[in-house]
Amino acid sequence: MANADPSRMPKYMTEADVPLASIYFQIKRRENHWESIPLRGENRGRILESALALGNLFFGARVENTTNRYRIDREYRPLIAAPALKIEAAWESFPDGTAQPILRCENPDVEILPVTPLYYLDRANATIGLLESELPAPVLHAWSAGPKIASDQIESISTHISSVPTVPLPTPSKMELEIREATPPQPYLRIHMAPFPGDGRMVTFGELTFSYGDSPRLIPLLPNSLEKHNAMIESKRIVWPRSFTAEQKLEKQLRRVGFISTYEIAPSIAAGAPQKNLFIPEIPRPTPQLAWLSLLGSPAMDQLRAAGWTIEIDPKSGLTAHDANEFFPSIEADPDHGIDWFRFDATYELDGKSSASSRSSLMSSRWISRKQTTRISRSTSPYLAMIQLMVLSGFPPGGSSS
């Protein structure tokens, strides 16, 4: 449609397309739209009706572009006319006690198009049809554009709507309110794998949440946030009081044992994430996995548990540790090529199975010369000291054994 200028008719246009294209370009020029016009307001319904009658109405869904991420590709499907559906004015209530006027269709899976007359779009079945109501179209449009109203205004709004008998509009109802007793927050640390915010790499995080009594687990409060949590349970509004100060004290306990927030590492990246409650070891050495194991096995974590913390470790996080009581070092020499090369390795046994045959060796072995031995022993001795304490299941990936 965007290129179908009726003043320079392309070959694919017919005489029946001219009135439709003319309406489109009139709207586009009058409202100063660039590439397309929004499906909102007057005359858009006429365009949909005419295009549907001509069999030229298509729906374009965005599809992934694997070659150019800046380009928007669409896959177009023809839309088929469907029977009209009933629509009515209604109210939607929210956990914070507010209410908002909405339009409710008898089929909740369709999308309401705010055009005149009102249409609906069924994306799944690629169908489109009219919406019918006892209320006039202008009233429906005004109703759908109505703002949220506060809980203390619901009663006065209901009285005002009831005083207008000429238009049968529904009135909002105030929900029953129950405020839970104030309790101290219960901290949770759930350790699992998740994409790093703004990066996409899979990283092991400690996700911090709190609960208050029987509340769901909640992310930490931000400064200036309302110190409460609202929810709707069986048409009743439930409010749990929260404490920003108490949550901050618990978060400091987590930092004292060696955790740091991803927001502190990369605030510009983490700021765009939906959550700022992801923590990692402050010193991720010698490797992130071993740093996690060192933290989880430290007395400080036992102190957190004793203080009431619940610490959960996802089995898929790769932090399952096993005691390896005996190690089997091996050295393989290769004096060929005129250079005295050798390779060293170490394996272990778990449940009667050697890591050389089942998983991997403890170290990614490689050939080195004897001239490098001093540097190698200095750099790897802390690494080997940690390995002697515990062995990460399946670590390291891809190491060879001798």
pLDDT tens-digit map of 362-378: 444 444 444 444 443 43
pLDDT at 398 over 60: no
- Of residues 393 and 338, which shows the higher confidence score? 338
Band of the pLDDT at 182, cuts 50, 70, 90? very high
Which range, 27-31, 319-323, 352-356, is most confident? Answer: 27-31
Q: How far apart are CA 124 and CA 80, in angstroms?
A: 12
Residue type, 378: R
Whether 80 and 127 have beta carbons less than 8 Å apart is answered as yes
Q: How far apart are CA 279 and CA 189, in angstroms?
A: 9
| Separation in Å, CA 100 to CA 150, 154, 263, 357 | 9, 10, 35, 64
- What proportion of the chain, given as a percentage, has pLDDT over 90? 35
pLDDT at 164 over 50: yes
* Average pLDDT of the segment spanning 239-256: 96
Q: How far apart are CA 25 and CA 27, in angstroms?
A: 5
Band of the pLDDT at 157, cuts 50, 70, 90? very high
* Average pLDDT of the segment spanning 83-92: 95
Token pair, residue 333, equals: 């020499």
DSSP 8-state symbol, 293:
H
Q: How far apart are CA 204 and CA 278, in angstroms?
A: 9
In sequence order, which residues have a C-beta less than 8 Å from that of residue 199 and are 6 or more positions away?
269
Helix (H) or strand (E) holding 141, with range, is helix 137-144
Match 């390995």 to its residue by tokens: 387
Dihedral class, residue 338 (left if φ above 0, else alpha if ψ from -120 to 50, else beta): left
Band of the pLDDT at 1, cuts 50, 70, 90? very low
* Closest among 329, 330, 333 to 368, alpha carbons compared: 333
The pLDDT score that the predictor gives to residue 359 is 40
Band of the pLDDT at 379, cuts 50, 70, 90? very low
Considering only 85-99, 121-135, 330-344, which range has the smallest mean pLDDT?
Answer: 330-344
pTM (predicted TM-score):
0.64
How many alpha carbons lie under 13 Å from residue 281 in its C-beta half-sphere? Answer: 19
Strand order from edge to edge, sheet including 176-179: 176-179, 236-241, 228-233
Q: What is the largest CA-CA distance in the chain?
A: 104
| Separation in Å, CA 164 to CA 14, 38, 160, 190 | 50, 33, 7, 54
pLDDT at 276 over 90: no
Token pair, residue 165, equals: 């008998």
Band of the pLDDT at 271, cuts 50, 70, 90? low
The pLDDT score that the predictor gives to residue 65 is 59
